[in-house]
Amino acid sequence: MSTNITRDGRHAIREISRLLPTIYKKYRARYARRVAGADITVRGALLLRSVAALRQATVGSVAREMGVTASTASIVLAGLERKGFLRRIYRVVGRSRTGLELTPAGRRLLTSLRPSLDREQLAAALRRLSIGDRRKLLDGLRRLDAIDSIGAGPKNPGLH
């Protein structure tokens, strides 16, 4: 079933898809924790998601997206490559000569780790919000995303 999504709706979906993983990264469990049912850590899963999300992924772009050093990203990405979840593509990508892409196994793993909320479901939920409420939702998510760390900025006494 195809849904006719407005430009504003598509923008909201893109923004939510961009913001939720970023917010999750800020409030996640420790990176070293293994993901249940998968031979991968939380950090590895997040790096795979970054590779999938970036148009032309490189070690440097994935590191920037994740807010980690290139050496940290490189070590984790090398492990994901050994496990067959991604591969290096030797071509010029920006200043780098090596791009990254998910393998079919990496795409399957990433799909299995995604939440069950799909684009159609999200579009249906967003259609139920007024444009003003949708903007408030996105503004709230952006504000939450902008918080550098827990404890930074003024505390809200009602949230203890």
pLDDT of the residue at 142:
82
Q: Report the share of the chain in percent with pLDDT over 70.
A: 73
Distance CA 25, CA 147 (A): 12
Distances (CA, A) of 76 to 93, 135, 140, 148: 20, 36, 32, 24
Tell me the whole-structure pTM to 2 decimals: 0.53
pLDDT tens for each residue of 51-105: 998 888 889 889 888 888 889 889 999 999 999 999 998 876 666 678 899 999 9
pLDDT tens for each residue of 97-124: 788 999 999 998 888 875 544 567 678 8
All structural domains of the chain, each given as residue ranges with its CATH number in brackets, are: 7-148 (1.10.10.10)
pLDDT at 16 over 70: yes
